[in-house]
């Protein structure tokens, strides 16, 4: 997950959901368990005339004057999606329980 974080927190070398090497890119973008969440975000963002992409998830939207309210709401939704990804991973590590990110979102 991060070589510096590993100094302070014991973390597994492999994904707790699949047997692949765990990196930040895998945790937040590549893990197959995230596909339902990404489909949900795609459907929500299309209502705002936006397309979901990894770039949007990582960097969020710039806040602009005429679309300020929309941009703030979309950024909040993206932040909640990241929290759902993190919380479901932590729950899997702690309890061994598998949660759907989309449902947690």
Domain extents for the chain? Answer: 5-95
Token pair for 3: 């070589």
pLDDT tens by residue, 41-92: 999 999 999 999 999 999 999 998 999 999 999 999 999 999 999 999 888 8
The reported pLDDT for the residue numbered 99 is 81
Cα separation of 83 and 70, whole Å? Answer: 20
The reported pLDDT for the residue numbered 22 is 84
SS3 70: helix
């Amino acid at each position: 997950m991060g070589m510096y974080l590993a100094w302070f927190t014991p973390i597994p070398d492999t994904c707790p959901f699949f047997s692949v090497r765990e990196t930040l890119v895998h945790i937040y973008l590549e893990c197959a368990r995230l596909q339902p969440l990404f489909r949900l975000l795609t459907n929500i963002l299309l209502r705002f005339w936006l397309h979901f992409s990894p770039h949007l998830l990582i960097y969020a939207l710039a806040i602009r004057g005429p679309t300020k309210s929309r941009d703030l709401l979309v950024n909040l939704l993206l932040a909640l999606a990241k929290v759902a990804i993190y919380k479901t991973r932590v729950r899997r590590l702690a309890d061994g329980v598998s949660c759907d990110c989309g449902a947690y979102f």
